[in-house]
Chains A and B, each alone.
Chain A
C-alpha cells in the first residue's frame, strides 16, 4: 500500500511531455491520466483522419480534420481527473522547443512516427539531461526504450536500420517487384507535380550500367517516336508534361507505350535470364472506354485487381484532378505534396508513402561571435568538407546565409555567425547542388569561460563527426546525362514555416519530416556510452584532429 501511494504522489507532481498524439500517444495519455499524472504537455503537428479512428481512440468521427493534440487533451479531460494538460498543435522541431523547453520536464515520452523527430528529441533530451522513454510500433511489433544520459545508450548510439532504397536504373528500366512500381509512381508524382528532383526521374535511363556492359552501347533509336522526343531534346519530364498541358492521354501513351517500346530497344536488358520484358499497352487499352471505371469507392475499389483499361481510366482521372490542382497553385515556386490520405494522389497510381534521404551531419565547435560566414564557407565547407559551391541556409528560418550564386551574399562574408542569431545548437543546412550533397551542421558554441569546452589555442573551429563519410566525394556526381536546365528544381524554400494552423508551409514542413525519415546519421565519435556505468564525458565534445 505504501508503494502505491508513493507512486501516486510522485506521479501527481511530475511534469511530463508526450511527443506525438497518434496511436501510441493516445494510449500513453490515457495511462498517464488514469495513473495519477497531473501536469502533462502533449505536442503533435498532425490533424485527425478517418483512418486513425480504428486505434487512436481519443478521436471520434466528428473530430476529423481537427488537431490531434487538442482533441486528445479534450477527450482525456472528460475522465474527470483534474489534470492540467497543455496541448501544442505544432512541430516539435520548431526552434521554440529548444533545450529550455525540454528542461522544464521531469520526463519525456516519445510517441512519434518518424526518425528525424526522434533524433531531434533524443538530442534535446540529452542536452537538457532529461530522461526519455522512446517507443514505436509497426504492425504487430513495437518497442520501448529508456534513455538516460550517461547511463544508457541514446537513441542514436546504435546505427538505426537503414530504410531500403533502390538503384535508379532498376526503377526506371527494369522494375521487377511491386515495391519498384510504388517507388516509380512516387517519383512520377514528384516529377509531374511535386518538387522535381533529377535523382527521381522516371524516363528510361540511358545511363543504365547494364547497357554499357555489353558491346551494344547505344540502343537503337526508333525513328520519330515520341519516346525519343524527350531524350533527344533533353527535357525533364516536368517540362515535357507542361508543354503538352498534362494531357492524360499523351502521358499515358508516353509512359506505358512509347517509353516501353524504347526500353525494348535496349535489347541487352531483356536478355538476362529470368527477367521478363515489358509489354507496351495497346491503343485499345490506352483509350479506356467510358464505363471502364473500377467499382465505386471503398474497399472493393482498392483491393480488386483492375484491368489495364480500368487502370488507364483511373490514371486519366487522377492526372486530370492533379493537373487542375497544380494549375491552381499559388505561385510558380509552389508544388504539390504527396499525401497518402489524398485520394487523387493515392490514385496516382496508388503508391504508398516511401522515402529514403541520407542526411549526413556534423557538429561544428566554434565561437559564433568570432567565426565569420566567409570562414565557414571557405575553411569549413570548402577546405575541410570538400564542397565546391555550397549554399547554406539557417534551418527553420529559411534564411540564406551563403549563396553559391555570385554576388548574392558577399556582404555576409566578414560578419560573425552570431550576427545572424546563430548560437549554440543552431542548425545550418548546407548543400552543394552540383555535387547533390546535403549536410547538416550543428553549432556547438564553445564557451570561452569554460576550461573544458574551450578550443585549443590557435584553433578556431573543430568538426566533430565521421569526416570520411561526410566529405563530398566524386561518387556523388550527378548520374543524369542532362545538365540541369536553367530553371531547375533548385527552389529555395525561402518562406518561413509558420507554426499553428496549417498552411501550405506546414505541409512542406511535414514533407520535410517525411523526407528526413531515413537519416543516415553519422555517429559522433565519442567514448563508448557505457550501459553499466556512467560516462562522464559529454558525447559531443570529443576532439578530432
Chain B
C-alpha cells in the first residue's frame, strides 16, 4: 500500500492464514499483508466489474467501493452472476445490486456502494477515503482521461499536487508515507477487451533465481537406481530483489501514433488493439456514446480517416473484426479480461512482481492476449 520501504501494519489472523493459504504460497505473506490493507474504488459496476471485483474480494483486500448509479436492468442481470436476481424489479442501482454477492464471497472484505458521478470525485475525496487504487470500468474515454489525471494529482501524506490543499484524515497515520493512487482502466467490446495501467513510478519486489556453481559431481546422477534421476537436480536459489518501473499517463497513451515505417510489426499487432483506439475515437466524436452494431458504417468511415491521418494501411482492421467488437461482451470474455485485470491490480497493490506496462489487449477471435507499451 505504500512504497516498498514501509512494512504493512498488522499481522494476519489464523483464520486468514487458513483461508488464504494457497495464495500465500504463491505470492508470499508480505504481499498478502499489503493486499489486506488495500482500499480500492471501482467506477462503473458493469458485468466486467463483477468479474474483477469477485477476484479482488476473494484475494482479501481491505475494502471495495463501487460507484455506479445507473439503474439495474434486465440485460445486466442476464449477462452477469454478480447482481442479485431478486432485485430485478426493485428500483436499485447496479452498484447496490452487486453488494450482497460480493460480501458473501468474502465477508472479511468491506464492500460498499458510493453514490455520485465520476466527475464529482476530487483529490480530497480520494485522499480522505484513502484509496490505493481507482479502477475505471467500461467508462467513456473522457472519464478515463479525467480520472487518470485525478489519480496523478493525489499524493498522500497531506500533499496534493497542484490541485488544492489536501487534508486527509489518515486512519493509520503512523504507517503512511508518500504514496500515489494507482489508476486502472478496463473494458470489453464484443469478444475483445483491454486493460490499461498507470502506476506512475512503481516499486516492487520480484524473485530472482540463481543456480549456484556446482561444487563437485552431482550425486543424484546414478545409473543403478530404479527411478529416473531428477533433471536439473542442482539446488536453485531464489531471492527477492527490488525493482522499479515508470508508467505513462493515459493522455499520452491516447495520443499514440503508430509509425507507418514499421509496417511489419504493425501487422503483427492484434487488430483488437486498433479497434480499442477506434472506439475511443468514436466516443470522443459522439459525446461518450458507446458504439453498437448499428454504428458499423460510421466506424468504417472513422477508421479510414484515422488510418489515413497516420499513413497506415486501412486493412490493418477489417470489417469482420470491427463488427466482432460491437456486440455485448460474452461471459467468458468478461471472465478472461476480468481475471487478467484483477491479477494486475493484485500485483500492483501488493508491490510483488511486475505488472503489465501498460496496455493489454485480449483478442477473442485469435484467443490470445498481448501487451504493448504505449505513450
Contact = CB atoms under 8 A, between A and B. Distances in A.
Contacts of B104: 60
A199 interface: yes
Contact of A476 (B15, B226, B293): B226
B22 A54 contact: yes
Nearest to B294: A1
B318 interface: no
B174 to A, nearest CB: 23
B80 A34 contact: yes
A165 B224 contact: no
Contacts of B235: 176-177
B7 to A, nearest CB: 16
B23 A272 contact: no
A166 B220 contact: yes
Q: Which of B16, B330, B343 has the most CB of A within 10 A?
A: B330
A165 B227 contact: yes
Nearest to B24: A299
Q: Interface SS of chain A: helix, strand, loop or mixed? A: loop
B219 A79 contact: no
B226 A199 contact: yes
A96 interface: no
A458 interface: no
Q: Which of B12, B226, B231, B343 has the most CB of A within 10 A?
A: B226
Interface in A164-184: 164-170, 174, 176-177
A210 B287 CA distance: 79
Nearest to A60: B104
Given A272-B216, A274-B215, A51 B222 contact: no
B274 interface: no
A7 B191 CA distance: 13
B219 A275 contact: yes
A299 B226 contact: no
Contact of A35 (B18, B214, B219, B332): B332
A210 B219 contact: yes
Contacts of A30: 81, 331, 335
Given A167-B225, A167-B229, A299-B12, A34 B81 contact: yes
A437 to B, nearest CB: 11
B98 to A, nearest CB: 13
A60 to B, nearest CB: 7
B263 interface: no
B34 interface: no
A72 to B, nearest CB: 13
Given A57-B54, A275-B219, A51 B227 contact: no
Nearest to A302: B17
A35 B226 contact: no
B118 interface: no
B216 A35 contact: no
Given A34-B81, A167-B229, A209 B219 contact: no
B371 interface: no
Interface string A385-400: 0000000000000000
Contacts of A468: none
Nearest to A142: B339
Given A273-B216, A275-B216, A299 B225 contact: no
Interface in B182-227: 214-217, 219-220, 222-227
A411 interface: no
B16 A35 contact: no
Nearest to B16: A299
B227 A168 contact: yes
B105 interface: yes
B59 interface: yes
Nearest to B88: A80
B226 A479 contact: yes
Contacts of A33: 81
A51 B19 contact: yes
A102 B224 CA distance: 44
A498 interface: no
Interface residues of A, number: 53
A34 B227 contact: no
B58 interface: yes
B228 interface: yes
A51 B22 contact: yes
B13 interface: yes
B328 A4 contact: yes
Interface in A57-85: 57, 60, 76, 78-80
Interface in A146-188: 162, 164-170, 174, 176-177
Nearest to B85: A80
A53 B331 contact: no
Q: Which of B23, B214, B343 has the most CB of A within 10 A?
A: B23
Q: Which of A34, A51, A76 has the most CB of B within 10 A?
A: A34
A31 B222 contact: no
A118 to B, nearest CB: 21
A296 B13 CA distance: 11
B156 to A, nearest CB: 29
B222 A167 contact: yes
Interface in B1-52: 11-24, 26, 29
Interface string A294-318: 0011111011000000000000000
Contacts of B24: 299
Nearest to A50: B18
A4 B332 contact: no
Given A54-B60, A275-B219, 14 more contacts: A4-B330, A30-B335, A31-B331, A35-B331, A51-B19, A53-B19, A54-B59, A80-B85, A166-B227, A168-B225, A177-B235, A272-B217, A274-B214, A299-B29
Interface of B: 11-24, 26, 29, 54, 58-60, 79-81, 85, 104-105, 214-217, 219-220, 222-231, 233, 235, 293, 327-328, 330-332, 335, 343
17 contacts: A1-B293, A3-B327, A34-B80, A51-B19, A51-B21, A54-B22, A55-B23, A55-B58, A79-B81, A140-B343, A166-B230, A168-B226, A168-B227, A170-B219, A272-B216, A299-B17, A299-B29
Q: Which 7 A-B pairs have the closest CB atoms?
A: A274-B215, A299-B17, A298-B14, A167-B225, A273-B216, A80-B85, A165-B227
